Amino acid sequence: MLDFPAEEWKNLPNLGAKSVSELLGVLEEIRTGSSRFSLVACRSLPTATELIPTAPLPEKPQEKQFSECIKNIQHYPPESAPVRIAAQLDKLYVERMGLNVRAVNSLKNGEIYTGLQLVQAAPEELRNLRNMGAKTIESVLEKRSELLQELECAFQVESHLPPQPAVNGTDGPGANVDVDAESPLHQFLLELAQFTGLQPGFLWKEAIICRSENPEAVDQELISCLWQREYIRTTSCQAILRLVDGHQFGISTPAILSAMPTYTSGDVLDGLLSELESQDRIRIQGDLVQRRLPTAMEFAQNISDERTKDFLLSKLRGETLDEIGRRYEISRERVRQIIKRALSRRPVLMEDRYLALYDRYEFSYEEFRLAFDEPRETYNYLDMIRTTKGERKPIRDILTDESIPENYRRKAERAIYRQYVTIDGVRIKKQRPELARYVVQTYCRELTTMEEFLQWYQLLLETIGASEDPSLALEVRTYENKLSM
């Protein structure tokens, strides 16, 4: 337990944050000798499996195949792709591989400082490094396989591709791809691997195919060619979906583009989004991309039981439980139970993106429609599944709630400010007290008669186009009393 990495405890099942904290506290007491426990030297008994001689874990066939290129590097010309990639790996220090601190320190303590030394080390040697947990070892071996794939790819190209004309003035077999770490293509391939999860070795092979088809192409042209490769497009679409799934309210197209590899054009993104949209996997509203999920109505229409389907569809369309119950001659409570059971089996629906907003803020249907331009069925669905039954906040508070996405706050303004008018740059609530107060503060700074006040008030109503609105008409006696105080 003392050797188990502290950061790995939280990854064990059935251990909460409090349990992990208590365990680490006890271990620290044991380590410092400040607890009621004491460490003593004791030779542990071997387990049954330890008594049986075991051979070292064999290297995976794929890793063994990749390792072969290490042994053959000296047989290639200095300018060949394997030698150039090996030289680059020798300049790639372990601190820059994206490994955690424990892995970096363990590798350095084992005198492994570069990518080349990492691929030259046998897997069994890496497993025997001290102070590495199971997950850390796994991440190191994955990084080794990734680097070996780049090297093995270059090895295969040099060995098997037919001779091609020299590219960029470089002699040698095969259509070599520029692997300069500073080149746009190299940067693009590394970022594409990170974005899609594809192995760099696979992407290098795709780049080599593009180079063989377009020997004179510059980096940007090769990048355009790579974006036409079917598997790269498919996995990139999947990566975009993962990105969209991480944003409940949707994500803007500029944000998606910024997450994609450098040198990706807007036209490429538009094409990928168009593919996803044609497959009904996303929907695009302006520059906002959202996952295309089934709607509440679509879910209801696909319910196999006809009675349950009719109950839910009727409720979504605005019928009350009593009305539905009378049609089927059952109680409203029974209708409610059947609808509740049906909704408990629903998947994530399109309307669910509004649930957190609707749970927190009080919307009338008219306000919700003005803000989000959604049909009545959406509002009825949210009212059926809302989790908070108590008092909710007024919708004007949305404007200062930074947990609500900005585009939703902007939309809510349409509903919030529909009750306001703007006069000379001042926003005033469209109600009698607020309008009367504005008249007094603006036109009645000096002694004013009641008749003059009423004239100013009527002129204001005409200005805002509300002179015929009976709800804004003043009761003279009431305001005589108010203004005389």
CATH superfamily of 58-160: 5' to 3' exonuclease, C-terminal subdomain (1.10.150.20)
pTM exceeds 0.85, yes or no: no
* Structure-model confidence comparison of residues 65 and 167, the more confident one: 65
Q: Residue 160 — pLDDT band, cuts 50, 70, 90?
A: very low
Q: What pLDDT is stored for residue 171 in this prediction?
A: 39
Please give the structure tokens belonging to residue 342: 């049906």
Asked whether 463 and 421 are in contact (CB, 8 A), the reply is no
Q: What pLDDT is stored for residue 345 in this prediction?
A: 92
- Find the Cα–Cα–Cα–Cα dihedral 129, 132, 133, 138, rounded to 10°: -70
Asked whether 163 and 176 are in contact (CB, 8 A), the reply is no
* Structure-model confidence comparison of residues 13 and 483, the more confident one: 13
Q: Residue 468 — pLDDT band, cuts 50, 70, 90?
A: confident
Long-range contact pairs involving 451-459 (C-beta distance under 8 Å, separation at least 24): 453/479, 453/483
The residues, ordered by sequence, that sit 6+ positions from 332 with a Cβ below 8 Å of its Cβ are 320, 321, 322, 324, 325
Q: Residue 293 — pLDDT band, cuts 50, 70, 90?
A: confident
Max mean pLDDT range (139-148, 242-251, 334-343, 356-365): 334-343
Q: pLDDT tens for residues 407-450? A: 888 888 888 887 777 777 777 777 778 888 888 778 777 777 77
Nearest 5°: the CA angle 104, 72, 147 is: 30
What percent of the chain stands above pLDDT 70? 79
The Cα–Cα gap between 367 and 207 comes to: 54
Domain positions in the chain: 10-44, 58-160, 167-266, 349-424, 430-484
The Cα–Cα gap between 215 and 227 comes to: 17
* Structure-model confidence comparison of residues 485 and 14, the more confident one: 14
Position 63 pLDDT exceeds 60: no
CA distances from 84 to 53, 168, 176, 203 (A): 42, 15, 11, 17
Asked whether 325 and 332 are in contact (CB, 8 A), the reply is yes
Q: What pLDDT is stored for residue 250 in this prediction?
A: 85
Q: What pLDDT is stored for residue 407 in this prediction?
A: 80
Whole-angstrom distance between the N-terminal and C-terminal Cα of the chain? 79
